[in-house]
Structure formats: structure tokens, C-alpha cells
Amino acid sequence: MKNVEQELQEALARVEAPAGFAERTMARIAEQRPARFRSVWYGAVAAALALLLAFGVVERTQRERRRRAEITERQVVFALALAVDKFDQISARLQKSAPELRVKEKQRNDL
């Protein structure tokens, strides 16, 4: 058992870092920071572009919907004007023929 403990102590014994270890570690950390910052920056730019695209699509959809509504409104106004014109024509014809119908009805009653 003592042999295992001694091996464990030797394996876990404090060892001095090699010369230049701290400098190499700090240099490596400094290299990784800009890369991480760059990836965050690219992610932010990509998110902003995605938002702009989404807002653009929504705006275009709303504009198209408004355009269709205006076209439909014009068509409805035209159809109503046409219907009013036709009703006026029918009304005029009925007014012209109404006295004639009354005379014919009176003649029938006289017979």
C-alpha cells in the first residue's frame, strides 16, 4: 500500500513549468481573443442582415396587400357605377312604358 501512495505522491508532485511557458500561454490566449471577437462580430452582422431581410419581406408583403386592396376597391367602385347606370336605364324604360301599360290595362277593363 505504501508503494502505491509513494507513486501517487511522485505523480502528483509539484513540477516547475518549462521556461517560456507563461509567455507562450499568454500569446496563445491573445491570438484566440480576436478570432472569438471576429466570430461574434460576424454573428451580429448575420443577425442584423437576417432582421433587415425579414423586415423587407414584411414591408413588401404589406405593400402588395395594399396594392391589391386598391385594385379591388377600384373594381368595386366601377361595378357599382355600372350597376347604377344599368338601373337608371331600366328605370327610364319602365317610366316610358308605364303609361302605355296603364292604357292597355284600362282598355282591357273596358272590354
**In this predicted structure, what is the pLDDT of residue 83?**
97
pLDDT digits (tens, 9 = 90+) for 58-95: 999 999 999 999 999 999 999 999 999 999 999 988 88
Measured CA to CA, the distance from residue 42 to residue 79 in angstroms comes to: 55
- The answer to whether position 11 is within a domain reads no
Measured CA to CA, the distance from residue 104 to residue 98 in angstroms comes to: 10
Three-class DSSP category at 19: coil
Measured CA to CA, the distance from residue 110 to residue 106 in angstroms comes to: 6
CA angle 51, 56, 60 (to 5 degrees): 150
Measured CA to CA, the distance from residue 104 to residue 3 in angstroms comes to: 137
- 9: number of Cβ within 10 Å: 9
Q: What is the count of structural domains for the chain?
A: 1
- The answer to whether position 39 is within a domain reads yes
- The answer to whether position 7 is within a domain reads no
pLDDT digits (tens, 9 = 90+) for 31-48: 776 666 677 888 899 999
Domain range for residue 26? 16-110
pTM here is: 0.47
Mean pLDDT of the chain: 85
- The answer to whether position 2 is within a domain reads no
